[in-house]
Amino acid sequence: MLIVPFQHQPSDAGVGVGSQPFMPTTTSSFVGESPKPLAITMEADCVIIGAGAAGLQTAASLLTTDDDVSLVLLEARDRIGGRIWSVQQDVSTVHGETISFTRDLGAAWIHGTGDMEDGRDKNPMVTLLEENESKDEDVDVMSLLHPVFRGNAWTRPDTILHKDGRVALYVDGKQIPNDSPAVSQAIRQHYDLLYQLSQYINSLVEAGEGSKLNHMSVKEVLEQIRKEQPFSESIGADDDLAEILLPFYLFLIENWNGLSMGDTQLSLMVCGEDDENDNDNEQEDNKNNVTMITDEDFICQGDYSGPHCKVQNGMATILEPLVTKIGKENIHLNEKVVSIVDLGSQGIRVETSSGSVVTCNCCVSTIPLGCLQDSAEKQFHPRLSEEKMEAIQSIWSGAYKKVFLTFDTIFWPTHVPFIGLIRKDDTVSPDGLPGKHLLLNNLFAKDGIPSLEAVLCGDMGKWAIQKSDQVIQNEVLNFLGSSMGLENLADCCISCHVTRWEEEDLTRGSYSTFCLGTKECHVDSLASPEWDGKLLFAGEPTESEHMGSVHAALMSGKRAADQVMTYLRREQGTLSGNLNLA
């Protein structure tokens, strides 16, 4: 693993508050020391902008072909990895102990390993881990992973969470048993609502109004369904408690999509949904792809089969094989690209804020979507196509904050990876944290580490933007205390850290997803080449089925590398070799 001393606290790290500030001491996502950039002039077959997962995969794929491809990889940060950032945290407790553990401040999950016996359906993240350990044939790749759920816990609460005992639910100070009749009743009502939602979607498609699926929110339709058919079937459980529990399962889906139900379009609730839904074949397909009724049958779009896992030594471990293939000499840190210019038959000129200039035959941009939304108008010359600009502005770049809280003792269940908190009131103050639900990732307590990770996404994520760490800490602790029936939690909270990818200049978002108005054609346009094929785009927003994931970024990098080779061979006629990119 590439480990170097932590040098300073970048702006996306936030500021620690509490009796002991958050202080990551090392990171596995640095390439090496970060010297001040020097103004340079270079030429290359290809310039790749961004050393996140997509950029690294593009570069590694190009450099492992039989062709002699020269490339330059430009990264604005003083580290590689982008939104993959694994840090080592040291926390001093009130008892004088030092606790050290790895946290992923950005991407943190392998969403399904895929078929481990059949490489055709294996998560590419797992493939990279296997490459990382190929020197030792006796190492089982699963030993590098920590399987947390045996399936998608966010969309399959019945079998994956409750029946497997992987969640602890609290409602206004009381823990609700996983086998509670109220839980069973609420889950049955949850899937009944999803079924009614699918019926409503079918009715739109059959009426030739399928295009409305991109512009109608799940929230407004579900509210209408609930109004027409109130909470009904009773099996002798506490109806009031089941009514309180019911919205929590939609909240889990919000955490999966990264959007509130008020911003989630209906098409996201239909597997394989097409964006226009305006021809007979598409309508017939959509009739057969409605949301499933039962938990066992429901497979959420975008994840692989197999367990959902954490990486034992941090997500940055996955990038190491790519860095090895690329070599440090091809990666230039602290080079923020400010201008990308089409030179016609002479290729592309890329300029950075340090004064460096690289001319190239073609260029791959992995600039994050949020940054493109801010700067595409002034960064690309000539202006990108209207279809591309519309696509850039039509996809949601996400608000998803992690609030890491460390305490002087563990006062919660240690071996459940999820803790769900429910309170009856939306807020405790007019300007407080909105909503009735909060999800805690409980991934450290099993190892004796007194730390929790609260997730603020959707409306909560929006609320937290520009709020201070202290305000966010207070609101999360108040929520935790009221829902678990605890007092004075601030006295035992020894550190707090809030991630701020949405506010950080080099990301301007956490991860991408479809919002109201986003269409499949927008993703296709975002991924399409510009400037006669010599300007290419990669990154997780360019992969519609897997959008928002690391494996989507890796997939896009392989696609972009393939496009680069196709362009160079067609236009230059000087390259030859195997087009089967690694």
What are the pLDDT digits (tens) for 205-235? Answer: 999 999 999 999 999 999 999 888 765 554 4
pLDDT of residue 227: 83
Q: How many CB atoms lie within 10 A of CB 416?
A: 20
Residues in the chain, how many? 582
What are the pLDDT digits (tens) for 67-89? Answer: 899 999 999 999 999 999 999 98
* Residue 565 one-letter amino acid: M
What are the pLDDT digits (tens) for 148-195? Answer: 999 999 989 998 999 999 999 999 999 999 999 999 999 999 988 988
Give the distance, in angstroms, between the CA of residue 29 and the centroid of all CA atoms in the same chain.
17
What is the full DSSP assignment across 175-235? EEPTT-HHHHHHHHHHHHHHHHHHHHHHHHHHTT-GGGGGTSBHHHHHHHHHHHS-S----
Average pLDDT rounded to a whole number, residues 363-384: 97
Collapsed DSSP state (helix, strand, coil) of residue 403: strand
What are the pLDDT digits (tens) for 293-341? Answer: 556 555 454 589 889 999 999 999 999 999 999 998 899 999 999 999 9
470 phi and psi angles, rounded to 5 deg: -65, -45
What is the full DSSP assignment across 522-581? HHHHHHS-BTTTTEEE-SGGG-TTTTTSHHHHHHHHHHHHHHHHHHHHHHT----S----
d(CA 372, CA 544): 18
- Of 417, 374, 430, the closest CA to residue 397 belongs to 374
Element (H, E) at 58: helix 53-63
Q: Which two tokens stand for residue 406?
A: 């460390």
What are the pLDDT digits (tens) for 527-547? Answer: 999 999 999 999 999 999 899
**Domain layout of the chain by residue ranges:** 4-84+314-396+517-571, 179-287
Is residue 551 within 8 A of residue 125, CB to CB? The reply is yes
Please list the residues that pair with 439 across neighbouring strands: 420, 455
CA angle 532, 388, 336 (to 5 degrees): 85
What are the pLDDT digits (tens) for 423-465? Answer: 987 777 778 999 999 999 999 999 989 999 999 999 999 999 9
Q: Does domain 4-84+314-396+517-571 have CATH number 1.10.1060.10?
A: no
Please list the residues that pair with 438 across neighbouring strands: 421
155 Cβ partners below 8 Å, 6+ apart?
252, 253, 256, 298, 300
149 phi and psi angles, rounded to 5 deg: -125, 150
- Describe the crossing of helices 53-63 and 550-571 by its angle, rounded to 10 degrees: 40
pLDDT of residue 74: 97
d(CA 419, CA 580): 45
Q: Looking at the whole model, is its pTM more than 0.85?
A: yes
Rg (CA), the chain: 24
d(CA 350, CA 179): 60
pLDDT of residue 577: 38
What are the pLDDT digits (tens) for 108-141? Answer: 999 999 987 766 689 999 999 998 755 556 668 8
d(CA 326, CA 346): 26
- Of 47, 126, 39, 53, the closest CA to residue 84 belongs to 53
- Describe the crossing of helices 386-394 and 369-379 by its angle, rounded to 10 degrees: 150
Confidence of residue 404 (pLDDT cuts 50, 70, 90): very high
Is residue 108 within 8 A of residue 310, CB to CB? The reply is yes
